[in-house]
Copies of this chain bind each other. A is one copy, B any other.
Amino acid sequence: MSNIKNDLLLRTLRGEKTERVPVWMMRQAGRYLPEYMVLRGKYGFFERCQTPELAAAITLQPVDIIGVDAAILFSDILVVPQAMGLEVQMIESKGPVLPDPIKTLNDLNRIRVPNVDETLGYVFDAIKLIKQELNGRVPLIGFAGGPWTILCYMVQGKGSKTFDEAKAFCYMQPELAHQLLQMITDTTIAYLKGQVAAGADTVQIFDSWGGLLGPDDFENISLKYIRQIVAALKDDVPVIIFAKGAWHSLESMAAIGAAGLGIDWCITPQMARKFAGDNITLQGNFDPAKLFSPIPVIKKEVKQMLRAFGKGHHIANLGHGILPNVPVDHARAFVDTVKEESAKL
């Protein structure tokens, strides 16, 4: 069916038995790689995202250098608010800044659900180029932010530990918040459909701030919209949801038709399996800070993680993005240990 040589990831997402556990790392095309740092030194952040040749080169790096079982598009979740008409600046050591955040109905009138071919066509071009250069070696993962997480940045205007202003916006102006969430959702569906049309083999929804919401709010503010996205995409490609910290809603997330659920290291694989049920693939959950441990410790802990997930229905990954200062050979030890040890399971 698939003309991808190493399709372990896709087969695992379909629930098939595989010869070993597939492995990739969130932010695998990132600052721990000296080859990435060279391109980061030469080009600005959005220049890297918006130039298909650069995005493709960066996307391919961890496939070539680390040997991961999937490529993930190099881009950022904030290209969506950008395409909707909001200015997004990326300050290299500080993170994103949106100088004119959404606070009122008037602000909402400044933005729109855009034509994604016009505003995000550069992503689709990058995907076509990546697929060409991958030449069927491994699958390509497309992605977008969860609507609640995108709202966080659009309202707060910058990163935050708690996104209080974004939450206050939802509690003080619920109608406006839902209007904004729907606009983000509509944009995201068109955007992800465009990614799939360009060649993405699967897509992941990063709801990085899902864990800031209690269970009821997660349902009303986040999952309600993720559900629409999954419904629109799931017949085309398998969808992975990673709502970091939202362990309390694994059961509801498992019920909406996603093929995989990401989990972080703060929940045991056993507990996650209990909540999510037996039929969904779980992805995770190595603590990224543990990649600073000596390599023998990394190997021991990876084995322990693999045993805890058990046979099948598991994509090995970190519980969050790889950290900038991790030594490359530590990242490689993580990936290699998954490959070697999971084959023995």
A343 part of interface (Cβ distance < 8 Å): no
A45 part of interface (Cβ distance < 8 Å): no
Q: Which of the candidate stretches A80-88, A122-130, A160-168 sits at the interface with the other chain?
A: A160-168
Chain A residues with CB under 8 Å of chain B are 159, 161-162, 164, 167-168, 171-172, 211-215, 217, 245-248, 265-268, 271, 287-290, 292-294, 297, 320, 323, 325
Given contacts A161-B161, A248-B271, A271-B248, contact A168 B266 (CB under 8 A): no
Nearest B residue (CB) for A166: B289
- Contacts A/B (CB < 8 Å), 21 sampled: A162-B289, A164-B288, A167-B287, A167-B290, A167-B292, A168-B289, A168-B292, A171-B289, A171-B292, A172-B293, A172-B294, A211-B266, A214-B265, A214-B266, A214-B287, A215-B266, A215-B267, A217-B287, A245-B245, A246-B266, A248-B266
Q: Complex formed: what's the CA distance from A292 to B174 in Å?
A: 12
Q: Complex formed: what's the CA distance from A224 to B54 in Å?
A: 48
Smallest distance from the beta carbon of A307 to chain B beta carbons, Å?
13
Selected from B162, B171, B271, the residue in CB contact (under 8 A) with A297 is: B171
Selected from B164, B288, B289, B294, the residue in CB contact (under 8 A) with A289 is: B164
Q: Which residues does chain B contribute within 8 Å of A214, judged by CB atoms?
A: 265-266, 268, 287
Q: Which residues does chain B contribute within 8 Å of A171, judged by CB atoms?
A: 289-290, 292-293, 297
Smallest distance from the beta carbon of A342 to chain B beta carbons, Å?
20
